[in-house]
Amino acid sequence: MQGVAQKARRKQNLDDVQDFFATEYHDLREQQKLNSTQVGFHSANAAMEQVQIVSALDNLALAATTDRDIVAKLTAITTELAATNKSLTEQIKQLLATNAALVGRASTGTPATPATNTDGDTAAKRIARLANLEAKRDPNGYCWTHGYRVVRGHTSKSCTSRANGHQEAATRQDTMSGCMTWKPAE
């Protein structure tokens, strides 16, 4: 609780200053009264001097009060800035952590939370299997029953899972009214 102790100390200092001024002010007023009764020694110049000193002390007392308000306002602003700074530091920390996680994920190609299907298969595994299958595709292949996307070696002639009316001679050049699935855009 250092802040509280500092505030208390600061307040004590201000109170001391005020007490000091109040005492000085009082003494001066008393002196002034005394002077005005000693008519024989009272010159116009001395009176003018006294008025100036009193006025200066008034200004000082006012300045001390104003300073206290300014200090209070500055303290509030400083506290606010410290809180904002702390909040921003936290946000930066979180962003850095998120960034580090994303960078790690990008380099390994592993999703943070792999989507698991009912077979216990992960999305990453499914993608890998599809990529593997795609690499085996015959770009010019065709099967009367299965269409255009067939792996190398799968033709209308070699097909092992034929539909009714399957035509062994069907190719991309002559599909013989076979399957049009995955037909490339003309």
Q: Does 138 bind Zn ion (CB under 5 A)?
A: no
Nearer CB in complex with Zn ion: 132/160? 160
Residues in 85-114 that interact with Zn ion by CB under 5 A: none
Span from 11-19, 26-34, 120-128, 151-159 in contact with Zn ion (CB under 5 A): 151-159
**Smallest gap, in angstroms, from Cβ of residue 127 to Zn ion?**
24
158: part of which helix (H) or strand (E)?
none
Neighbouring-strand partners of residue 116:
122
Sign for the pseudo-dihedral over CA of 166, 169, 175, 176: negative
Residues contacting residue 25 through CB under 8 Å, at least 6 positions apart: 54, 57, 61
Nearer CB in complex with Zn ion: 9/157? 157
Give the CB-nearest residue to Zn ion.
159
For 77-96, b/e burial (b = at least 16 CB within 10 A) is: eeeeeeeeeeeeeeeeeeee
Residues in 153-182 that interact with Zn ion by CB under 5 A: 159
The one-letter amino acid at 56: A
Q: Does 146 bind Zn ion (CB under 5 A)?
A: yes
Span from 22-30, 71-79, 134-142, 145-153 in contact with Zn ion (CB under 5 A): 145-153
Q: Which residues bind Zn ion (CB under 5 A)?
A: 143, 145-146, 159
